[in-house]
Amino acid sequence: MLIDWYHKLNPEEGRVSRVVTSLPRDCLQAERSILQYSKFAATLGFASLAVLLNFKFVYEDSVKGLVFKQTLTPSVFALVVSVVFFILSISSLVLGVANYYTNIRCYMEGHTRTGSRKGTNLFVFLVVLCLIGVNITLLIDSSHWAVE
Neighbours of 111 (CB within 10 A): 11
Residue 145 scores a pLDDT above 70:
no
User: Do residues 96 and 33 make contact, with C-beta atoms less than 8 angstroms apart?
Assistant: yes
Domains in the chain: boundaries = 19-147
CA distance 80 to 78: 6
- The secondary structure element, H or E, covering residue 56 is none
Residue 66 scores a pLDDT above 80:
no
pLDDT in tens, 12-51: 665 666 667 777 788 888 899 999 999 999 999 999 988 8
**Residue in 84, 93, 86, 82 with CA at minimum distance from that of residue 36:** 93
